Amino acid sequence: MKTEKKMLLSAIAACCLLTACAKEPKKETHQETNTVTKEPSGGMMTGFPPSPEQTVTKENWMQDPYIRWSLSHMREMIQTKQVWRGTGNPAPLKYAPKNLNNFTIADENGEPVALQQFLTQTKTDAFLVMHEGKVVYEEYFNNTEPHEQHWMASLTKVFTGLLVSTLADEGKIDMTAKASSYLPELENTAFGNATVQQLMDMQVSADFPTHGFEKSGLGNQDAQLFLASGQLPAIKGGPASIYDMLKEAQEQKEPGTAFSYNNGSAETLGWIVRRVTGKSLAKVMEERIWLKLHPEEDAYYVSDLLGTEQASAGLAATLRDMARFGDMVLNHGMVNGKRILPETIFSEIAKGGNQQLFIESATEIDKPSYSYHNLWWITNNENKAFEVTGSYGQRLYIDPKAKMVIVHLSSNADHNMEIQDAYSNAYLKIAHFLMQQKK
């Protein structure tokens, strides 16, 4: 009888345990996904299935109106690699809002226009101004949501540059060494012959074979990168990977003798980071920068079929997380009172680049008085601002004197130099306004 009672009690206990386990909330797991379910922007990709005129493809994603959707939905189109945000709570952003909607700036024709109106006219998706560590202005357009990662084109380059700089600070990369010393695959090639510092300062002149591919409004170096990464449909004889693209580059001038803005320099640097660390670029960026920012969302990289991330143009992130990143840069590697990157990296950026080489380049026509150093554009304006810009209207602007950060994300297929100049002037005018308000 006692034995039967014990058996009955054991059965009841087991049943209770199973019931408790069933009621225990399932722990959330984090995994990368290449599809997201959300309301599309720009009137594209609606319906099940969408109509042909609303369908975004690899052929049309850079054109209006399709680009209004594609830059906020890149990972739904092609292969990407996750940059994890971690499990903790995001670092809270501080707010001191100012209504800048009607703040008067000059448009690309020099005519006065309200800031919000100009942002709308130039196909902005998201815009944020941070002053002295507080968000003073944050606006979204084109149905863009705060949690959506926006493809940022060449804004990606500064992340690659910071990773190289941290590894150099640790003695793991020699800035004076040739790239081929880390990448023997590039021995006697345009990018392999350059030093790491020459790559960081865009002092490598190289062209890529066209493979018979031409697309209106798209430069060949971008075209070859997009072909290599699968952002454009593959063509016969074209590069099958980013590594293939780099090996094909044809040297035009001796490294270090001219300024030449080229995606291949940043892609070579990304390859060096992978080789030195033995990790993917996404993982290195995650560990050394992204996790330490305590962001709200994951970021992700566009990658080729081998999983090689675009080190020059592939990163996508949210507006607010880019503000966190910009604030870290403004504060020379500090996040909430804690140092995450060496201060010397940022004081080096502030020194600027070789202005003589810059003046002798064609780029000087578009960016007078600028220089370029460690993958940043140095404005040399009155506030000593520095920035990074990307195709179709992407921009991260750091103004040390005004203690201001501006993040500007757009999907403008016709983002010309006149519009860029108008925004440069607008950013400086906003800085003056904020500094004056502080007095």
DSSP-assigned letters across all residues of 362-389: THHHHSTT-EEETTEEE---TT--EEEE
* Mean pLDDT computed over 299-311: 98
Beta strands in 307-428 (DSSP E): 315-317, 334-335, 338-339, 371-373, 376-378, 386-390, 394-399, 404-410
- Domain layout of the chain by residue ranges: 94-151+318-438
**pTM for this model (two decimals):** 0.90
Share of the chain above pLDDT 90, in %: 86
State the number of CA atoms in the 13 A half-sphere of 403 facing the CB. 12
Higher pLDDT, 288 or 18: 288
What's the pLDDT at 9? 42
What's the pLDDT at 21? 37
On the question of pLDDT at 147 being above 80, the answer is: yes
The DSSP secondary-structure symbol of 88 reads S
> Beta 134-140 vs 394-399: how paired, if at all?
unpaired
Least confident of 25-29, 58-62, 240-244: 25-29
How far is 260 from 203, CA to CA, in rounded Å? 6
* Mean pLDDT computed over 184-200: 98
On the question of pLDDT at 7 being above 60, the answer is: no
Q: Please provide the CATH number assigned to the domain covering 94-151+318-438.
A: 3.40.710.10
Strand partners, 315: 301
pLDDT tens by residue, 339-353: 999 999 999 999 999
How far is 193 from 183, CA to CA, in rounded Å? 10
Q: Is 409 helix (H, G, I), strand (E, B) or coil?
A: strand
What's the pLDDT at 41? 55
Q: For 15, phi and psi rounded to 5 degrees?
A: -65, -45
* Mean pLDDT computed over 359-373: 87
To the nearest 10 degrees (0 to 180), the angle between helices 156-169 and 343-350 is 120
* Mean pLDDT computed over 268-283: 98
pLDDT tens by residue, 371-404: 999 999 999 999 999 999 999 999 999 999 999 9
Higher pLDDT, 438 or 11: 438
What's the pLDDT at 311? 98
pLDDT tens by residue, 10-51: 444 444 433 433 333 333 333 332 333 344 455 899 999 999
Residue 368 banded pLDDT, cuts 50, 70, 90:
confident
What's the pLDDT at 259? 96
On the question of pLDDT at 370 being above 50, the answer is: yes
What's the pLDDT at 42? 58
Least confident of 34-48, 82-96, 202-216, 424-438: 34-48
What average pLDDT does the structure give for the chain? 91
Least confident of 29-38, 45-54, 97-106, 420-429: 29-38
On the question of pLDDT at 363 being above 90, the answer is: no
What's the pLDDT at 1? 43
How far is 409 from 65, CA to CA, in rounded Å? 16
Write the single-letter amino acid at 122: T
Residue 93 banded pLDDT, cuts 50, 70, 90:
very high
Tell me how far apart the terminal alpha carbons of the chain are, to the nearest angstrom.
Answer: 89
